[in-house]
Amino acid sequence: MWIDLNEIDKSEPLNRNVQKNEGSKIYSPFDPPEEPLKKEDVSYESMHTLLTYFIDEHQEIRGHIHKFEQAVQDLRKEGFTKPIQACIRDFFECFDQKLIPHTKREEKFLFLKLHDCLIEIGEHSPGSPIQTGVTLLEEEHIGMIQMGALIFNFFGLSSRLKGQEAQLQVLDLAIEKATQLVESLRLHFLREDTVLFPLAQKHLKSHEMTTLLEKMSQTICDKNIL
Ligand SMILES: [Fe+2]
Ligand SMILES: [Fe+2]
């Protein structure tokens, strides 16, 4: 398959989204947006176990992200050494076995209920389709998974290409996208930890979250048995 590297930014799905949103405000963890992503002041200790379970998973995944970021930086200077290869492999294993299931659990056992609840209490965008803070984070899940798959394929492709120049070009692209992914993941976790989960704590009833937690625990348990 031939990939025109000059055209890739135009055809890659994530960038198409970015281009669609040209002119809109770019959020940063240091410059948090106004509604619907307003920070809520709820401490970790006062959150329901359903929410702290997700926060703890973020913490675990952050460790893998940090090592991956380091490996990607070293890759530019040192090339594919064994430790670098091991770190990259470890990250994609984590991506596949921890991050993707984590996002699916959030969607199934929190986002659905919270989205309905936010609509009920009027915390949503005007007009149609109705959007809440959940909608944005759900879209980020899709973007992150697409970007992860793209980077994985770029790394694989760069090792199979014959010409050194083409190899370096694809590798460069993989490194650039990997750096973007690291930032997106960190920002996403921050938004959930400081905005969405506190919002859930504020608006969902404790017994509703307990029921969701029980259902989620049952699913995890069933998977481990199979
Ligand atoms: Fe998430
Ligand atoms: Fe999350």
Residue 215: the pLDDT is 96
Residue closest to 118 by CA, chosen among 25, 204, 23: 204
Distance (angstroms) between ligand 2 centre and the Cα of 174 equals 24
CA pseudo-torsion sign 166, 170, 173, 179: negative
Residue 94: the pLDDT is 98
Report the C-alpha gap between 131 and 226 in whole angstroms. 37
Query: For 169-179, how does the pLDDT look when each residue is reduced to its tens digit (9 = 90+)?
Result: 999 999 999 99
CATH number of this structure's domain 45-225, picked from the four choices 3.10.450.50, 1.20.120.520, 1.20.1290.10, 3.40.50.9100: 1.20.120.520
Torsion of CA 189, 195, 197, 202, to 10 degrees: 170
Distance (angstroms) between ligand 1 centre and the Cα of 1 equals 33
Residue 128: the pLDDT is 86
Residue 17: the pLDDT is 41
Distance (angstroms) between ligand 2 centre and the Cα of 19 equals 25
- Quick one: which ligand is closest to 140's CA? 1
Report the C-alpha gap between 156 and 133 in whole angstroms. 35
- Quick one: which ligand is closest to 136's CA? 1
Distance (angstroms) between ligand 2 centre and the Cα of 137 equals 9
Distance (angstroms) between ligand 2 centre and the Cα of 86 equals 25
Contact indicator for 131, 122 with CB cutoff of 8 Å: no
Q: Domain limits of the chain?
A: 45-225
Residue 162: the pLDDT is 86
Residue 220: the pLDDT is 87
Q: How many CB atoms lie within 10 A of CB 64?
A: 19
Q: Where do we find the tokens 């989960």?
A: 197
Q: How many CB atoms lie within 10 A of CB 200?
A: 28
Query: For 119-169, how does the pLDDT look when each residue is reduced to its tens digit (9 = 90+)?
Result: 999 989 988 889 999 999 999 999 999 999 999 999 999 888 888 899 899
The model's pTM is: 0.81
- Quick one: which ligand is closest to 61's CA? 2
Q: Where do we find the tokens 């590297």?
A: 5
Q: Which residues of the chain have pLDDT under 70?
A: 1-38, 225-226
Residue 3: the pLDDT is 44
- Quick one: which ligand is closest to 51's CA? 2
Distance (angstroms) between ligand 2 centre and the Cα of 143 equals 14
Distance (angstroms) between ligand 2 centre and the Cα of 43 equals 17
3-state secondary structure of 28: strand
CA pseudo-torsion sign 200, 137, 189, 34: negative
Distance (angstroms) between ligand 1 centre and the Cα of 185 equals 9
The dihedrals phi and psi of 30, each to the nearest 5 degrees, come to -90, -5
